[in-house]
Chain A
């Protein structure tokens, strides 16, 4: 991977992003997030996303704990957890996770425990996928930055050469 040029890595990254967009995993909000990253805050995206991961895992743990409890009845608390989850997901543009949250919240509003269980499983699955993909993305990003630091002679395009 290190052998790839910065441009190729960039292209690969774009392809991966395009895939995520196509699958609906991410939406434009992620682009907005990326735009906020500049020289003053070079790791803004990864920073935010890591906070998101941290928070989300905590929330997921809480949700699972709530649902596994035998005498569980606190759907209100679950709703507030889900609101949190939904808000942070929409902030980073994790569209599919957010959509599952919406479904989850609907199930919890109806006090449908079985539906909540299903939704939780789906949510964990989606979250896992998102996490893997974003990790992959950041890895490539880091490699790209590394590659960009290495100076190769610029590739000359035949058209540019009269």
Chain B
């Protein structure tokens, strides 16, 4: 129950842990929410829009920069070109001043001027033409008109009215020859220009107006020409007075700019407009249109300086086409969005997947918990069932014990003992079933106790002897001499593995033999090596051997693993060199105290089909489905065996041929038993084989060497010297030899064991003859006993055997040392002595004899039974039926040696009674501290009577309570000899050994 609660607790803890992990994964849970995905997508949209904006801005900025640079470039070019033209006009003005006024007579006339200007027109590409107007004061007009032969006219080509002064054109380029004789002062712009020009002495420009000839927009440039050199820093008056005339030129701005832009064409389509902004509130267009075409959003204005400080000009540029949408920005933003979206979606998908997997994981965990619970339930079921089986088994065992108490003949006793041993094995097997659950849980712990390997093997053999006998299979065991007698390991597990393997073999074998061998692993390996070598060297021999009629195995049937055939076996048992080596190796091994054994179980059964061999060690897998139908079983045994063998530090494997047989072999590691500490323990570990046969001599007659070796092995264990011969005749001749050698103190064989086959094979009467012959000859000395060994024997054969003087005994196989011993005892007429059991009860008898014991129990039946049991061992019993009565009896001084006290009694229970008794005793002890000798105690002057509790339930808690109350021990209520013995021995051990005990010891030594 507590365990269960614990497991619940464990589950709870685990769930808590899961909660913890859940918290850890909460981010992922959030990520799986579609709203989060939507949010993410929105975020990505915003980000991509911002990226677009940013890139677009950059693009615009770049566009603007381009526009600015283009505009500035154009403005600069225009300005440069303009100033070049102005400079040239300036040069012309100087030319006129130089050659017209400083020379007398003038070097320039109209023709010269026209030609010169025409030839230098390329210098002034922007000017439609230049002309020179002379300053004429009104007083000089007439003279001037006369001189030139024409009158001064106004711009309207009419004769000029009278003014203070005039500026008629006297020289003009051919392109503008139509303005000759026109008074420039009469034109509004021109006049103003002239006045400004002579005042400043610099080039001045008019505001734009339609030119006379071309009707293009244009400006007029005017330079003053002075008669004489001006003084430095001249005043305006000085300038006006010195003025001789004006040189003017018309700039055709429209065609000029057109021309200029034409040079730069092909770059970008931009709209250029040039304004005169002298009057800033009303800019005048010099070039371009007022129309709103082009990109109105982006304009750039560049300042122009045409060299006239009075007039201000500017150039305005803008793109002809609107800014195209920025494709790179658009695509970049789009891709960013797409990538962001994909990333978001991927995270979302992954999160959903993770959540799903997590859910599955939780589900699985829950299932796992349930499966574990089911496993616990299964283990409980196993425990219950095996407990239920144990109960009837106890009945069986009890009956067998009853049977063994009766007078039985030797074979009967053996059968009954076998049955009892089998029953006990069955109970251990049931316990082993319980262990299986432990193996599966990995909780199995191996014991490390010393045990006798050979007796374990004998036990296993006895378990299957009945079955094998019924089937007519030979079952044999052989343990190599090199294997230590006692090893430290887990006998239960070792036995379980062997039992399983032998059980399988018995199950699947119908004829032939089952042979269990135990060797040292090194020894076996060395032999295998030798064997392989010989195999390699002599393949042909092997073939001959296998094609032969008989195989050199135990029963003559072929075995799967021919390494175990007699050749190898001979190596194993007979090769002295090898044995020597093995012994040396064993010595070396001694240093590290480990011994590795190799156990082979060979059978001649149906074998395992090739395809099934792989899954032999898998649980619940049998060779095929029909196997369990034909042979039963669950197929779990081998898997358990494998687990166990691996736990014991070994390996298991097998060789199998269909219809030939299987050989399972495994290795196990045991520790060596310290030789010097053998002492008493050895006796308790090994089943005591009677040693009465020590020194006897026997001859084994057997045609098959392997089988003979097995017989020899068992006899050797009994201390009998054995010689094996192959036929009866040889045996007899040897005996005869001995007969003749009697004088030499050679011992005659005491027993001759004849294998049934060997006996049957000499069908002729030679056997009988030889025997009778021998009998007659050998009158003088004791005849050896004849014993027949048989696996199975028919009654007719038995009669026949009796007839030919096998009267002594027939030993049924499989051989076991103890059984052989029992049979030999009967045959040799040695008295059968029940040793140990008798010893123990006599010992108990000696302990309790004439002791005065008080039995306290309220239950009359129990009282009677306890009294009977104690009386049987010679005790003097007094009964008391309650605690009070017991106290009365035990009033000091009394003569009781011990008290058996029931615990559960009405009124005063055992604990209370004991407490009072102890109190009485301590009071008495205090009083008599003097030193009187007191009877009925251990003799050291203190009252202390041993009180033993009688309890029905021997639980630890109860026993502890018993000891606490001052009791000295406890016995389980229905008295058992063993239990009683153990409890009582503690108190009476120190007493002097009685005569009867000494008797027992003497008897024991006699037995040895």
Asked if A51 lies at the interface with its beta carbon under 8 angstroms from chain B, I say yes
Asked if A121 lies at the interface with its beta carbon under 8 angstroms from chain B, I say no
Asked whether, in the complex, the Cβ of A27 is within 8 Å of the Cβ of B861, the reply is: no
Chain B residues lying within 8 Å of A80, measured Cβ to Cβ, are: 906
Chain B residues lying within 8 Å of A162, measured Cβ to Cβ, are: 802, 807
A32 closest partner in B (C-beta): B974
Asked if A38 lies at the interface with its beta carbon under 8 angstroms from chain B, I say yes
Asked if A112 lies at the interface with its beta carbon under 8 angstroms from chain B, I say no
Give Cα distance in the complex from A76 to B962, angstroms: 24
**Residue in B403, B864, B906, B973 whose beta carbon sits within 8 Å of that of A14 in the complex:** B403
Asked if B405 lies at the interface with its beta carbon under 8 angstroms from chain A, I say yes
Asked whether, in the complex, the Cβ of A91 is within 8 Å of the Cβ of B402, the reply is: no
List residues of A whose CB falls within 8 A of some B CB: 10, 14, 17-18, 21-22, 24, 27-29, 31-38, 40-41, 44, 47-48, 51-52, 55, 80, 83-84, 86-88, 90-93, 159, 162
**Residue in A31, A41, A91, A92 whose beta carbon sits within 8 Å of that of B398 in the complex:** A31
The winner among A27, A40, A84, A92 for most chain B CB atoms within 10 A is: A84
Chain A residues lying within 8 Å of B397, measured Cβ to Cβ, are: 28
Chain A residues lying within 8 Å of B869, measured Cβ to Cβ, are: 32, 36
Chain A residues lying within 8 Å of B405, measured Cβ to Cβ, are: 35
**Residue in B391, B399, B402 whose beta carbon sits within 8 Å of that of A24 in the complex:** B391
B899-915 interface bits toward A, Cβ cutoff 8 Å, 1 = contact, 0 = none: 00010101000000000
Asked if B548 lies at the interface with its beta carbon under 8 angstroms from chain A, I say no
The 27 sampled A-B contact pairs (Cβ below 8 Å) are A14-B399, A17-B402, A28-B395, A28-B398, A29-B974, A31-B398, A33-B868, A35-B405, A36-B872, A38-B872, A41-B868, A41-B872, A48-B864, A51-B860, A55-B860, A55-B861, A80-B906, A83-B904, A84-B859, A87-B859, A87-B862, A87-B902, A87-B904, A87-B973, A90-B952, A90-B974, A91-B861
Instruction: Given A24-B391, A91-B862, output 9 extra A-B contacts at Cβ < 8 Å.
Output: A17-B402, A21-B396, A22-B395, A27-B395, A36-B868, A87-B859, A87-B862, A88-B859, A162-B807
**Residue in A18, A21, A36, A159 whose beta carbon sits within 8 Å of that of B865 in the complex:** A36
Asked whether, in the complex, the Cβ of B802 is within 8 Å of the Cβ of A32, the reply is: no
A21 closest partner in B (C-beta): B395
List residues of B whose CB falls within 8 A of some A CB: 391-392, 394-399, 401-403, 405-406, 798, 802, 807, 857-862, 864-865, 868-869, 871-872, 902, 904, 906, 952, 973-976
B397 closest partner in A (C-beta): A28
B403 closest partner in A (C-beta): A14
B906 closest partner in A (C-beta): A80
Query: Knowing A41-B871, A87-B859, A87-B904 touch, does A48 contact B865 (C-beta < 8 A)?
Result: yes
Give Cα distance in the complex from A35 to B398, angstroms: 12
B907 closest partner in A (C-beta): A80
Chain B residues lying within 8 Å of A48, measured Cβ to Cβ, are: 861, 864-865, 868
Chain A residues lying within 8 Å of B391, measured Cβ to Cβ, are: 24
**Residue in B394, B861, B865, B872 whose beta carbon sits within 8 Å of that of A28 in the complex:** B394
Chain A residues lying within 8 Å of B861, measured Cβ to Cβ, are: 48, 51-52, 55, 87-88, 91-92
Least distance between B667 CB and chain A CB atoms (Å): 41
Give Cα distance in the complex from A55 to B863, angstroms: 12
The winner among B395, B857, B862 for most chain A CB atoms within 10 A is: B395
Give Cα distance in the complex from A38 to B865, angstroms: 13
Least distance between B554 CB and chain A CB atoms (Å): 29
Chain B residues lying within 8 Å of A88, measured Cβ to Cβ, are: 859-862
Asked whether, in the complex, the Cβ of B904 is within 8 Å of the Cβ of A18, the reply is: no
**Residue in B399, B406, B798, B868 whose beta carbon sits within 8 Å of that of A18 in the complex:** B399
Least distance between B567 CB and chain A CB atoms (Å): 41
Least distance between A103 CB and chain B CB atoms (Å): 16
Give Cα distance in the complex from A37 to B869, angstroms: 9
Chain A residues lying within 8 Å of B859, measured Cβ to Cβ, are: 55, 84, 87-88, 91
**Residue in A17, A40, A55, A87 whose beta carbon sits within 8 Å of that of B871 in the complex:** A40
Least distance between B395 CB and chain A CB atoms (Å): 4
Query: Knowing A31-B398, A32-B974 touch, does A91 contact B865 (C-beta < 8 A)?
Result: yes
A161 closest partner in B (C-beta): B802
Query: Knowing A87-B973, A91-B859 touch, does A44 contact B392 (C-beta < 8 A)?
Result: no
Asked whether, in the complex, the Cβ of A51 is within 8 Å of the Cβ of B858, the reply is: no
B406 closest partner in A (C-beta): A10
Give Cα distance in the complex from A39 to B403, angstroms: 19
Least distance between B864 CB and chain A CB atoms (Å): 5
Chain A residues lying within 8 Å of B392, measured Cβ to Cβ, are: 22, 24
Chain B residues lying within 8 Å of A84, measured Cβ to Cβ, are: 858-859
**Residue in A22, A47, A90 whose beta carbon sits within 8 Å of that of B973 in the complex:** A90
Query: Knowing A24-B392, A47-B864 touch, does A34 contact B402 (C-beta < 8 A)?
Result: yes
